[in-house]
Chains A and B, each alone.
Chain A
């Protein structure tokens, strides 16, 4: 099932890209519509499959069965891909990856919907479909080689999304995006290779000329004897994952990429691609090297705290709507690091839920920003005032998104923030004041820009229109934009009120993770359990 989920979008997307070039073409318009419909149809079908996997036994949830070490393997028998170097196709989901897979399958059709009328649509929608395959591949692959392949594969569609459909400065942004993340992941590759080199021969891997394998399920920290080397691997992995997340000081590609990317690109970038970093970090670095994680808690704290504070602080100075949302993403990603740094079940569960909640809220924000750009031709905060008069729906979505992002109770972001704060208090005591105060800054910049954009107009009927409209009346948002934002908004509320849909599963995962792997280390290190 997971194999279908991964390979179908890749195959169909590539076919839709290549076939029209070879076959004698029909008119460009027909082609665009056909490709769009097929892509959307396939992505919807995949969403149904993903939902089926996620909520298969929703009635009698037995989340305890889904935890580390008990992957739901969809393939009974791993398929060997390159036996000479021990690569095989192993896929599976657990509480860590399942929400991410579902999120990806959800966001793809929504982002297609937002850019329903994209120019060069015969390439745009298939490209997003290819992206879906690569993204799901990252989340389900349990073979580090395959994982790395999918990890890098996500770069290519995103590179083109920014390069072809981006804003004015897209050339610079796409290059920066590609080179930054590529460099970081090659550093990560060295870490993976050191791990690979230390794996022993196991049953099921035959004919490997190197005598090693990439199977993540068979790896553990004991395979590397030298503690220093273990720490080095952990740091190499951290560099790769932290750049993707991104964390201060390697975050600078993100604002550029976000501002230039098309709306759909931004939604996927913020919604899923950033989560790849956090996911990989938890899946590989934290799970395999827990005691290194405990040793390096100060590094995580510093990275997380500086991302959180710096991101929020910079947000206050932004005048560009997308830049502000991008920096708020950096800030929220900092919270994930803090959640992991607590090394508490609740903190890790909070971090996981933050990944999920941010994956719903930030696409909503970027959809709003994209629609704003689309209809008002500007992204400057304050150039347009009183949207509420012109586009009440847009204003409502904007408001909901911002409220969710600043952590209003009963919205999805709140659950994650509270969980992380409580765990933080348990681990570090009064230090919790720092992140808590930062949340106030978050509220400040959101409320400030909300006031400037949605309200604050003297003219009750027109608001202040930006110069970029040249005096024309703006149109209201289109039905497909509205639908997409509406669904995201509903989910924000839904997961705010019923967080347990995924939160229970996540906290079970983190509890068993902490209990199974960490108890001894924590006692040794003298950290309060």
Chain B
């Protein structure tokens, strides 16, 4: 028999195989019971295990959560341990780049799983309603049963997200790339709509789904035009064709433009970001955290593939340079201005995530200017990857804090954060740390990534000013416009300080509505503490070094493709 996957290839994708096996396992395990099958015409009963009364262990409503935590943790561990790289089939290639992103995705998913532990109520010992029950009691019992049932559904979808994202980062074929993105995206639309505790959940999911589908449709249209142009959608072939064509073919140009719409939606770039704040505020906090970190990282992988791998000319300015530069500036400014006026912490974080997308797009634009040497280009890409990696720590950390609030059914208004410092000093301290890191205050990890980004842009552009001028004005007029992207980032950082500080302010300044400490969600608290710790130690010290080194290795492998 000719297996489609040989052993050496299977070894390369162990994390994904684990997730795939986990997906099957998590569907099966909660259904194990004592059902048996009587062999016809005999009295022999063969236990078939599926169905019947479930065992005590498998009927535990918390089981799916634990299973999915175990799956993601092992996937993370194996991804971390991976040392061999290579091609898998025709459309996948495992590189340090894809491994780093698998780590990012699984880390975000681990945090999401932990955060969910205390969010969706899981109760053991539930009974089906009896005929004698009144209508109210019956409804309650049914709702509780549904809650328990949702546990499994949520985690099944979560694993599908993980699988889609992880495969997506290895795709070397545009079609594969798109299929994986859609697998992850469609699952994430469902996750957004999963927040049934509030009315906005379904609406947000629907909105996100419609806008997302339209964006995807546009992207697929663009992809089909690329196929028309080249006849082969593998990234290598596209890149080769791009280099060979001397001028940008209109069809190809339009095709790439259309695909930018799809990927721009994924990263939350203006003007395609409009559904994002609704989706974030409608979704439960763990899911919103997932959208802000893993989903964004996925969008950036796609953007980097299409912009850097395929359409970046060997020398000179890329044709998308002006577009991306303008989008970057508009995105960061719009995000920050909109965040200033929001009063919903999730919306604030959503807009802050939009502005962060702007910072990273500015980095891409600096590469597109064609001024960057290979070294500078690597530096900027490293900065982007590093930023995506550390976002998991502090952006998700902030959403974890909101998850903790959400266990009380709150976190939709700024006043839910009031006086958090009185009630929970450590949680409030961590939240403040996350805010400062988002704002880019040293020595936190957010500063290091923003620093690398600005450094990359300055590095590319500061050398372009004529060197023999003696007055400041002459130099300023002679420098390439890319230099001002760095200034845009700086001004926007200052602008963003307002709303990040406001969150700190209400936590430490305002009176809380009640003084009770919050729910004793131990695993969530530990996760928050971990995030806070890593926010600090990735900012300065040996760990930041090794993460930077990982990012640099990833980019090396990304470039050499």
B374 at the interface (CB under 8 A from A): no
Q: Contact at A190–B458, with CB atoms within 8 Å?
A: yes
Q: Contact at A226–B467, with CB atoms within 8 Å?
A: yes
Known: A82-B545, A84-B549, A182-B497. A149 touches B540 (CB 8 A): yes
Q: How far is the CA of A225 from the CA of B467 in the complex (A)?
A: 6
Q: Contact at B505–A197, with CB atoms within 8 Å?
A: no
Tally of contact residues, B, Cβ under 8 A: 56
Question: How far in angstroms is the closest Cβ of chain A from B360?
Answer: 18
Known: A164-B508, A179-B494, A183-B497. A189 touches B541 (CB 8 A): no
Q: How far is the CA of A235 from the CA of B467 in the complex (A)?
A: 17
Q: Contact at B540–A82, with CB atoms within 8 Å?
A: yes
Q: Contact at A232–B494, with CB atoms within 8 Å?
A: no
Chain A residues 146 to 170 lying within 8 A of chain B, measured CB to CB, are: 148-149, 152-153, 155-156, 159-160, 163-164, 170
Main secondary structure of the interface of B (DSSP, over half): helix
Q: How far is the CA of A210 from the CA of B448 in the complex (A)?
A: 14
B455 at the interface (CB under 8 A from A): yes
Contact partner of B454 (CB less than 8 A), chosen from A22, A170, A190, A235, is A190
Contact partner of B426 (CB less than 8 A), chosen from A18, A159, A174, is A18
Q: How far is the CA of A21 from the CA of B486 in the complex (A)?
A: 40
Residues of A within 8 A of B498 (CB): 175, 179
Residues of B within 8 A of A87 (CB): 540
A202 at the interface (CB under 8 A from B): no
Q: How far is the CA of A231 from the CA of B467 in the complex (A)?
A: 12
Q: How far is the CA of A189 from the CA of B493 in the complex (A)?
A: 12
Residues of A within 8 A of B379 (CB): 209-210
Q: How far is the CA of A268 from the CA of B378 in the complex (A)?
A: 43
Residues of B within 8 A of A193 (CB): 451, 454-455, 458, 486
Q: Contact at B501–A227, with CB atoms within 8 Å?
A: no
B509 at the interface (CB under 8 A from A): yes
Known: A21-B426, A182-B497, A186-B493. A194 touches B475 (CB 8 A): no
Residues of B within 8 A of A152 (CB): 441-442, 447
A211 at the interface (CB under 8 A from B): yes
Contact partner of A194 (CB less than 8 A), chosen from B458, B502, B540, is B458
Question: How far in angstroms is the closest Cβ of chain B from A454?
Answer: 36
B466 at the interface (CB under 8 A from A): yes
Residues of A within 8 A of B497 (CB): 178-179, 182-183
Chain B residues 452 to 490 lying within 8 A of chain A, measured CB to CB, are: 452, 454-455, 458-459, 462-463, 465-476, 478, 486-487, 490
Q: Contact at A229–B465, with CB atoms within 8 Å?
A: yes
* Most B-side CB within 10 Å, residue of A18, A82, A183: A82
B382 at the interface (CB under 8 A from A): yes
Question: How far in angstroms is the closest Cβ of chain A from B445?
Answer: 11
Q: Contact at A186–B494, with CB atoms within 8 Å?
A: yes
Q: Contact at B472–A228, with CB atoms within 8 Å?
A: yes
Q: Contact at A81–B541, with CB atoms within 8 Å?
A: yes
A414 at the interface (CB under 8 A from B): no
Q: Nearest residue in A to B540 (C-beta to C-beta)?
A: A81
* Most A-side CB within 10 Å, residue of B454, B455, B540, B548: B455
Q: Contact at A197–B545, with CB atoms within 8 Å?
A: no
Question: How far in angstroms is the closest Cβ of chain A from B23?
Answer: 37
Residues of B within 8 A of A232 (CB): 472, 475-476
Q: How far is the CA of A235 from the CA of B471 in the complex (A)?
A: 12
B260 at the interface (CB under 8 A from A): no
Residues of A within 8 A of B472 (CB): 228, 231-232, 235
Q: Mark B425-463, 1 if CB is under 8 A from A, else 0.
A: 110010000001001111100011001101100110011
Residues of B within 8 A of A159 (CB): 501
Residues of A within 8 A of B478 (CB): 228
Question: How far in angstroms is the closest Cβ of chain A from B440?
Answer: 8
Known: A18-B426, A228-B471, A228-B475. A187 touches B490 (CB 8 A): yes
Q: How far is the CA of A228 from the CA of B454 in the complex (A)?
A: 20
Q: Contact at B490–A190, with CB atoms within 8 Å?
A: yes
A3 at the interface (CB under 8 A from B): no
Question: How far in angstroms is the closest Cβ of chain A from B412?
Answer: 23
Q: Contact at A226–B455, with CB atoms within 8 Å?
A: no
Residues of B within 8 A of A194 (CB): 458, 462
Q: Nearest residue in B to A89 (C-beta to C-beta)?
A: B540
Question: How far in angstroms is the closest Cβ of chain A from B473?
Answer: 8
Residues of A within 8 A of B476 (CB): 228, 232
Chain B residues 136 to 159 lying within 8 A of chain A, measured CB to CB, are: none
B185 at the interface (CB under 8 A from A): no
B169 at the interface (CB under 8 A from A): no
Q: How far is the CA of A179 from the CA of B436 in the complex (A)?
A: 12
A283 at the interface (CB under 8 A from B): no
Q: Nearest residue in B to A87 (C-beta to C-beta)?
A: B540
Q: How far is the CA of A209 from the CA of B451 in the complex (A)?
A: 14
B375 at the interface (CB under 8 A from A): yes
Q: Contact at B508–A160, with CB atoms within 8 Å?
A: yes
A171 at the interface (CB under 8 A from B): yes
Q: Nearest residue in A to B443 (C-beta to C-beta)?
A: A149
A327 at the interface (CB under 8 A from B): no
Q: How far is the CA of A161 from the CA of B490 in the complex (A)?
A: 26
Q: Nearest residue in B to A123 (C-beta to C-beta)?
A: B425
Q: Mark B495-512, 1 if CB is under 8 A from A, else 0.
A: 001100110010011000
Q: Contact at B451–A189, with CB atoms within 8 Å?
A: yes
A85 at the interface (CB under 8 A from B): yes
Residues of B within 8 A of A226 (CB): 465-469, 475
Q: How far is the CA of A227 from the CA of B530 in the complex (A)?
A: 48
Q: Mark B506-538, 1 if CB is under 8 A from A, else 0.
A: 001100000000000000000000000000000
Contact partner of B441 (CB less than 8 A), chosen from A81, A155, A174, A210, is A155
Q: Contact at B509–A163, with CB atoms within 8 Å?
A: yes
* Most B-side CB within 10 Å, residue of A84, A87, A152: A84
Q: How far is the CA of A153 from the CA of B436 in the complex (A)?
A: 11
Residues of B within 8 A of A196 (CB): 455
A83 at the interface (CB under 8 A from B): yes
Question: How far in angstroms is the closest Cβ of chain A from B285?
Answer: 23
Known: A182-B497, A189-B454, A231-B471. A211 touches B490 (CB 8 A): no
Q: Contact at B468–A178, with CB atoms within 8 Å?
A: no
Chain A residues 198 to 238 lying within 8 A of chain B, measured CB to CB, are: 209-211, 225-229, 231-232, 235
Q: Contact at A229–B467, with CB atoms within 8 Å?
A: yes
Q: Mark A69-100, 1 if CB is under 8 A from B, else 0.
A: 00000000000011111010000000000000
Residues of A within 8 A of B411 (CB): none
B160 at the interface (CB under 8 A from A): no
B287 at the interface (CB under 8 A from A): no
Q: Contact at A211–B375, with CB atoms within 8 Å?
A: yes
Q: How far is the CA of A85 from the CA of B545 in the complex (A)?
A: 9
Q: Contact at A156–B441, with CB atoms within 8 Å?
A: yes
Q: Nearest residue in A to B432 (C-beta to C-beta)?
A: A156
Which residues of chain A have a CB within 8 Å of any CB of chain B? 17-18, 21-22, 81-85, 87, 148-149, 152-153, 155-156, 159-160, 163-164, 170-171, 174-175, 178-179, 182-183, 186-187, 189-190, 193-194, 196-197, 209-211, 225-229, 231-232, 235
- Excluding A82-B448, A209-B549, 15 further A-B contacts by CB distance (< 8 Å) are A82-B545, A149-B442, A155-B441, A163-B509, A164-B509, A170-B509, A175-B498, A182-B497, A183-B494, A189-B490, A194-B458, A227-B470, A229-B465, A229-B467, A231-B472
User: 20 A-B Cβ contacts within 8 A?
Assistant: A81-B540, A82-B548, A83-B545, A84-B545, A84-B552, A156-B436, A156-B441, A159-B501, A163-B509, A171-B505, A178-B501, A179-B501, A182-B497, A186-B490, A186-B494, A196-B455, A197-B455, A209-B549, A226-B475, A228-B471
A-B residue pairs, 8 tightest by C-beta: A228-B475, A183-B494, A226-B467, A149-B442, A84-B548, A228-B469, A149-B443, A227-B470
